[in-house]
């Protein structure tokens, strides 16, 4: 582990200039993910009989928190679950829907919450929210995807659109964004395929779906993570088949602290940025080789802190039981985890020119920013706060930030700057928001920012999420133990922003 002596002395600094930008933030960058996994759905977003449930069984306390979180896009129904998904099971009268075994998560799926209920949930979030639906390319294929698309989106006059209307949904669901399967390179995926097998199936599915609707937007499966043995070659092979047929290629990444190496964990965004840049390079290489004028963008539709090693330890022995909505993957996040989530959000913003969709996985209870108890309260995890702040203040033009900062050595990533930062300018108001993480576990970090041509003159607010106890968490009994708090002493004068970032902290500085 690196020691304090490895830290270089000096302030962190960078320059913001109105003429140097990365790109416009796509609102879909603030997406999330609802999968039929653990308690994400049942006793998460959906709990008929709960004191806060509405007439459709949706928990209104959860709805309020999701709106506060600022989620814009919701991916559904998986995840690994989708590769065994029979969408027909999830529509029609609830009492007639079948119970099924879900081999992805070794659970029993009741189908009490299905496609119509999901669309109702997304619509309740507000006008900005939209659904992102995955089709099953594991155990099913082209015909099933077309049937689902027709049921969901065709206005009427056909068997399947008529069936939707008979089920009580007169208006089409209007789903624009579709995932062509999920993690199809993974040995854990039901119906996993080689790159060539998947690429051909995805191409056939994309062609057929575009015949029903040429404006449909499609995501092809990239590698499940950068450490996959086929990473890079998978993307290149798949894109050879689908390049002119899809809009995005997916990326998935999860991070955890391993063997007490907190410095490497705090530098997880180094890996995320590398992942993004490597996939962009592959996409552009394939496009050049195909002599295409089209650009493929990225959908980082699963990302988060996930203590995956704990999950594998807990499920090492297969169970003979097939429970309904078991407590799975219910990580309880600390201040440290929240700082890492903030740094991952910065990484996404820093690549907003190519990352156009992103989904924090998942939304409720399962590695989630929101926790609930059956029949009880809902509360914000520590990781809720960075996401909510970036969704609220990270809209507009991302400014090009080139950090100069003290660095320290990490076991996983070598020399890493102690500062990670970006800034976003609102084109309507001219307001600028700086997002910054101090990765130093023990020392404060002075920050000096020079501003050119931005027209801002004062600090509206500087908030920090930090704590003397890096393991501090929010719980049912102490739901507000960790929240952002104001910082005094941050100044903006003569085009210079000056502040001091607390050790191991997530910071938001708003300027007008």
Q: Please identify every residue annotated as catalytic.
A: 183, 302
Beta strand pairing call for 414-417 and 407-410: antiparallel
**What is the rounded distance in angstroms from the CA atom of residue 174 to the CA atom of residue 340?**
35
Question: Cα–Cα–Cα angle for 180, 368, 376, nearest 5°?
Answer: 125
Place of tokens 């109105």: 18
**What is the rounded distance in angstroms from the CA atom of residue 146 to the CA atom of residue 408?**
53
**What is the rounded distance in angstroms from the CA atom of residue 497 to the CA atom of residue 489?**
11
The SS3 call for residue 462 is strand
Instruction: Output phi, psi for 86, to 5 deg.
Output: -110, 100
Q: Long-range contacts made by residues 1-4, C-beta under 8 angstroms, separation at least 24?
A: 1/260, 1/261, 1/263, 1/411, 2/263, 2/408, 2/409, 2/410, 2/411, 4/442, 4/443
> Tokens representing 86?
């029979």
The SS3 call for residue 226 is coil
**What is the rounded distance in angstroms from the CA atom of residue 385 to the CA atom of residue 380?**
8
What is the gyration radius of the CA atoms in the chain, in angstroms? 23
Sign, CA torsion 198/180/390/330: negative
Q: Alpha helices of 250-380 — where are they, by DSSP H?
A: 262-266, 268-289, 308-314, 335-350
Residue 347's nearest CA partner among 431, 417, 451 is: 417
Residue 71's nearest CA partner among 129, 133, 132, 134 is: 129
> Tokens representing 124?
């309740």
């Amino acid at each position: 582990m690196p020691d304090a002596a490895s830290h270089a002395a000096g302030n962190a600094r960078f320059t913001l200039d109105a003429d140097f930008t990365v790109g416009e933030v796509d609102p879909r960058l603030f997406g999330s993910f609802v999968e039929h996994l653990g308690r994400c759905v049942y006793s998460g977003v959906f709990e008929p009989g709960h004191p806060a449930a509405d007439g459709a069984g949706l928990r209104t306390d959860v709805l309020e928190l999701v709106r506060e979180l600022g989620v814009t896009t919701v991916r559904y129904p998986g995840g690994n679950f989708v590769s065994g998904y029979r969408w027909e099971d999830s529509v029609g009268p609830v009492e007639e829907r079948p119970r099924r075994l879900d081999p992805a998560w070794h659970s029993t799926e009741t189908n009490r919450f299905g496609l119509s209920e999901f669309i109702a949930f997304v619509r309740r979030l507000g006008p900005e929210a939209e659904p992102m639906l995955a089709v099953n390319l594991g155990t099913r294929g082209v015909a099933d995807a077309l049937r689902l698309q027709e049921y969901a989106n065709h206005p009427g006059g056909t068997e399947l659109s008529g069936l939707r209307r008979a089920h009580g949904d007169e208006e089409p669901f209007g789903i624009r964004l579709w995932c062509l399967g999920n993690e199809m390179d993974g040995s854990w995926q039901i119906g996993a395929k080689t790159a060539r097998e998947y690429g051909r199936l995805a191409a056939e599915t994309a062609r057929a779906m575009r015949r029903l609707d040429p404006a449909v937007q499609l995501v092809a499966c990239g590698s499940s993570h950068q450490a996959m043995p086929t990473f890079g070659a998978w993307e290149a092979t798949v894109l050879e088949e689908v390049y002119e047929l899809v809009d995005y290629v997916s990326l998935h990444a999860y991070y955890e602290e391993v063997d007490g190496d907190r410095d490497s964990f705090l530098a997880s965004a180094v890996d995320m940025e590398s992942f993004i840049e490597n996939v962009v390079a592959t996409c552009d290489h394939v496009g050049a080789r195909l002599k295409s004028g089209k650009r493929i963008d990225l959908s980082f539709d699963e990302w988060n802190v996930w203590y995956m090693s704990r999950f594998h330890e807990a499920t090492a022995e297969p169970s003979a039981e097939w429970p309904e909505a078991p407590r799975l993957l219910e990580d309880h996040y600390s201040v440290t985890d929240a700082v890492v989530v903030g740094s991952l959000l910065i990484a996404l913003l820093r690549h907003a020119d190519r990352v156009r969709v992103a989904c924090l996985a998942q939304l409720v209870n399962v590695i989630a920013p929101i926790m609930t108890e059956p029949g009880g309260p809902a509360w914000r995890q520590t990781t809720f706060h960075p996401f909510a702040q970036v969704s609220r203040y990270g809209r507009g033009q991302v400014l090009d930030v080139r950090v100069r900062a003290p660095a320290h050595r990490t076991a996983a990533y070598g020399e890493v700057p102690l500062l990670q930062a970006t800034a976003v300018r609102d084109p309507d108001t001219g307001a600028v928001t700086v997002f910054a993480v101090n990765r130093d576990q023990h020392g404060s970090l002075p920050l000096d920012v020079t501003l050119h041509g931005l027209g801002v003159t004062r600090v509206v607010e500087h908030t920090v999420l930090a704590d003397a106890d890096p393991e501090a968490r929010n719980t049912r009994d102490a739901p507000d133990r960790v929240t952002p708090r104001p910082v005094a002493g941050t100044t903006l004068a003569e085009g210079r922003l000056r502040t001091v970032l607390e050790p191991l902290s997530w910071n938001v500085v708003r300027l007008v």
